[in-house]
């Protein structure tokens, strides 16, 4: 058991605060354990401002803007819990998929290992894209080995957000580590608890307050609007073209046919994955022939409506796409707190522990 009721949380690669938003809303079932912010770091200035504004407005100096490779880890401050969604560029299925061999991004996970070895927090959460399992040559096993040798019992699982009441088909690997000298066992929360939840895009995007921030509608060109009018809900441009509904002057001529190009949401189904990057046609589209607003993207990522993102439109879109869904972070953190409190909860076997 921890010796106090709150866990001080440190974060690297914190993003705009999706993981922190969920973690700070978590409590154990008996109300005895919770999480408080300690410090965070990210290399993007707008992202740091968003985090400060929403997560720690009374402690802005605790968010350090800068390259993780320049951090002085011993000066960050004592923590009881740690979280990091280390950059996924090297592991994404739509990226270069070079793994740890890509020195620029792949090895950035190691700075989290250094934090674990220096501060010895009681637990940690590490998050990455599903592609981490097959990147490089044994990268995932190497990362697991390094984390375990830092002194932690690990539980790795591929979480499918749509199974946890989140209106998005977003699949992410989450590794939970419990310090190996503690008599605490974490188990993966059972997604069956969320069976029957309405995760349709229609419900997710309904009733957005008129004064909600980041909700401006971006004006599209006439050509894009015409193209969207030919695409049915749930379809992308290629499906509409195959069905003969795209006239010649609106066809797209590319060698690669990415499934998200001019893809509309199906109002009856969860949204497809919100992404941070991508060129024209990858910005996510409403079933009513327009681009989603950033607030709608944030809704899909389960951010509360009063969570205000800082920066220009493209910067905000990127921040939202990079984030961990708040609700998923809350579900996993709550399970951790219940584990420390000795409270049983519905669970399933982890699916990445081979």
Longest Cα–Cα distance of the chain, Å, equals 68
Query: Taking a C-beta distance cutoff of 8 angstroms, is the pair 309, 298 a contact?
Result: yes
Which of 105, 137, 111, 104 lies closest to 126, judged by CA?
Answer: 111
Q: Which residues are catalytic?
A: 88
Query: Residue 217 and residue 290: Cα distance in Å, rounded?
Result: 8
**Tokens at residue 248, please?**
């010649």
Q: What is the DSSP string of 159-190?
A: EEGGGGT-SB--EEEEEEEEETTS-----EEP
Residue of 104, 94, 102 whose CA lies nearest to 136: 102
E strand residue ranges, the chain: 6-12, 34-42, 63-65, 81-84, 123-129, 152-160, 171-179, 188-189, 285-286, 290-291, 347-348
Token digits for 11?
A: 């974060």
Query: 10 forms bridges with which residues in the sheet?
Result: 39, 82
Q: Exposed e or buried b for every residue in 188-210, given b needs 16+ CB within 10 A?
A: bbebeebeeeebbbeebbeeeee
**What distance in Å separates the CA atoms of residue 163 and residue 169, rounded to the nearest whole number?**
9
Helix axes 45-54 and 313-322, enclosed angle (nearest 10): 70
């Amino acid at each position: 058991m921890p010796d106090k009721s709150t866990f001080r949380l440190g974060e690297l690669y914190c993003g705009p605060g999706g993981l922190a938003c969920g973690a700070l809303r978590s409590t154990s079932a008996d109300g005895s354990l919770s999480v408080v912010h300690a410090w965070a770091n990210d290399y993007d200035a707008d992202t740091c401002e968003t985090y400060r504004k929403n997560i720690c407005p009374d402690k802005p100096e605790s968010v350090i803007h800068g390259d993780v490779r320049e951090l002085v880890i011993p000066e960050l401050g004592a923590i009881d819990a740690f979280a990091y969604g280390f950059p996924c560029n090297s592991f994404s299925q739509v990226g270069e998929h070079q793994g740890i061999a890509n020195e620029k991004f792949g090895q950035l996970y190691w700075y989290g290992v250094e934090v674990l070895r220096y501060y010895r927090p009681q637990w940690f959460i590490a998050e990455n894209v599903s592609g981490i399992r097959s990147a490089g040559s044994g990268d995932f096993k190497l990362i697991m080995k390094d984390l375990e040798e830092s002194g932690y019992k690990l539980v790795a699982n591929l979480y499918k957000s749509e199974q946890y009441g989140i209106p998005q088909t977003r699949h992410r690997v989450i590794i939970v580590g419990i310090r190996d000298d503690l008599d605490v066992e974490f188990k993966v929360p059972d997604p069956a608890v969320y069976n029957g939840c309405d995760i349709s895009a229609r419900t997710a995007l309904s009733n957005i307050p008129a004064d909600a921030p980041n909700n401006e509608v971006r004006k599209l060109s006439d050509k894009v609007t015409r193209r969207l009018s030919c695409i049915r809900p749930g379809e992308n441009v290629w499906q509409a073209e195959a069905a003969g509904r795209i006239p010649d002057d609106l066809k797209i001529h590319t060698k690669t046919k990415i499934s998200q190009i001019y893809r509309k949401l199906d109002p009856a189904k969860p949204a497809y994955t919100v992404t941070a990057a991508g060129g024209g046609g990858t910005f996510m589209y409403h079933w009513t022939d327009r681009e989603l607003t950033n607030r709608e993207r944030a809704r899909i990522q389960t951010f509360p409506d009063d969570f205000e993102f800082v920066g220009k439109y493209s910067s905000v879109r990127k921040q939202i796409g990079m984030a961990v869904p708040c609700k998923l972070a809350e579900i996993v953190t709550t399970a951790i707190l219940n584990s420390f409190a000795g409270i049983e909860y519905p669970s399933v076997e982890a699916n990445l522990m081979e």
